[in-house]
Amino acid sequence: MEKSEKTCHSPSRRQMMIGTAGVLAAGTVLTQLGGLLNSAHAVGGSTEKWPWRYEKLDPAKTAEIAYEEWYRVFCGAAVINSIFSQLREKVGEPYTSFPSDSFVFLEGGMVGWGMTCGSNAGAAIVANTIIGPRIQPEIAGKKVTEGHEITEDIFQWYSEASMPIFVPKTPKVTTELVKTKAESPLCHVSVGKWMKASGFPIGSPERKDRCARVAASVAYHLVELLNDWKDGKYKPTATHKPVKEFGITAQMNCMECHGDNVPSAPMAKK
C-alpha cells in the first residue's frame, strides 16, 4: 500500500484519494446534520422550546406601560415591552434576552408603510413567542394552535373595535379623542379613518396619543387572552378564515378595496 502510494501519482489515483476524503467529509457532515435534526434545540437555539413560562399580568397595568412605552419605541415594541418587561421581572430568561427594542421597526405599519398596525404585529409576536408556533410537536396528542388563534382573535377584535378604547390615568393629551372602527388590521386604514374623522394630521399630538392608546388597548386585550390561556379557559373567537372561505389570503373588508365586484379565487377541484 505504501509503496504504491509513493510510486503512483497518476491523476486518477489522486482523484480517487480526493474522492475518498470527500466521502469521509460528507459522512461527517451527515452525522452532524443527523445530530442537529435529532435535536430541535441545535437547529433553533435554546429559546425554541414552548411554552415560555408565563405569569398572569394585570391588563390595566400592562396598558399603562404600553401607553408610556409608545412615546419611546412606538406601537409594536410598546406592546411587546409592556408584557416582556414585566415577565423579565417575574420570570427572567428567556425574556431577559429577548431584544424587544428591535421591533421599533413595526412603527407605522412597518417603517411607515401602513401595513399591519404595529400594535397587532407586536401582539402576534408576543402570543407566538410565549405559546409557540402551530408547527411545534403536539402536546398530549393535541396541536398547539393558541398562538395562531390569539393572533386571529386580536386582528378581528381590533378591526371591529371602536378605537382607542383605553384611557390612560394621566393622558399626555387631554382633548377628547374621537373613536373610529378600522374594519381592518392595517395601520394605513386604521390611522386614515381616524384622521378623516378627527381632522388631526399624522404629526399632531392628538394622532400620536390616539396611537399610544391603541397600543395600550391592544396590550390590555392581549393580556386578557393570555391570562385565560394560562388558566386553561381560552376559547378562540375569530370567525374570519379567509383562506378556507375565499381561497385567498385576505382581510375581511373585501368591498372597501374591490367595491361591489369582489373577484373570486380559483378553488381547488375536488
Minimum gap (Å) between residue 241 Cβ and ligand HEC: 10
Return the C-alpha cell found at 258: 374591490
Minimum gap (Å) between residue 63 Cβ and ligand HEC: 28
Please identify which residue in 263, 268, 269, 270 interacts with ligand HEC, judged by CB under 6 A. Answer: 263
Scanning 1-9, 82-90, 94-102, 253-261 for contacts with ligand HEC by CB under 6 A, the matching segment is 253-261
Please identify which residue in 21, 97, 246, 269 interacts with ligand HEC, judged by CB under 6 A. Answer: 246
Burial class (CB in 10 A: 0-12, 13-18, 19+), 142: exposed
Kindly state whether residue 243 participates in binding ligand HEC, applying the rule CB under 6 A: no
What lies within 8 Å, CB to CB, of 10 at 6+ separation is none
Kindly state whether residue 265 participates in binding ligand HEC, applying the rule CB under 6 A: yes
CA-based nearest residue to 256, from 199, 184, 178: 184
Buried b (16+ CB within 10 A) or exposed e, 54-86: beebebeebbbbbbbbbeebbbbbbbbbbbbeb
Kindly state whether residue 264 participates in binding ligand HEC, applying the rule CB under 6 A: yes
Q: Are 242 and 252 in contact (CB under 8 A)?
A: yes
Please identify which residue in 146, 258, 259, 268 interacts with ligand HEC, judged by CB under 6 A. Answer: 258
Closer Cβ to ligand HEC, 30 or 257, answer by number: 257
Closer Cβ to ligand HEC, 8 or 257, answer by number: 257
Scanning 1-9, 32-40, 126-134, 245-253 for contacts with ligand HEC by CB under 6 A, the matching segment is 245-253
Number of residues near ligand HEC (by CB under 6 A) = 15
Minimum gap (Å) between residue 15 Cβ and ligand HEC: 55
Q: Are 139 and 124 in contact (CB under 8 A)?
A: no
Please identify which residue in 76, 242, 244, 267 interacts with ligand HEC, judged by CB under 6 A. Answer: 242
Q: Does the CA dihedral 238-243-249-254 come out positive or negative?
A: negative
Kindly state whether residue 115 participates in binding ligand HEC, applying the rule CB under 6 A: no
Kindly state whether residue 248 participates in binding ligand HEC, applying the rule CB under 6 A: yes
Other CB atoms within 10 Å distance of the CB of residue 36: 13
Scanning 5-13, 48-56, 61-69, 257-265 for contacts with ligand HEC by CB under 6 A, the matching segment is 257-265
Return the C-alpha cell found at 180: 373610529
Q: How many CA atoms lie within 13 A of 16 on its CB side?
A: 7
Quote the CA–CA distance of 269 and 41 in Å, as a whole number: 40
* Length reported for the chain: 270
CA 200 remoteness from chain centre = 30
Closer Cβ to ligand HEC, 117 or 130, answer by number: 117
Closer Cβ to ligand HEC, 53 or 196, answer by number: 196
Minimum gap (Å) between residue 261 Cβ and ligand HEC: 9
Residues making contact with ligand HEC (CB under 6 A): 242, 246, 248, 250-254, 256-258, 262-265
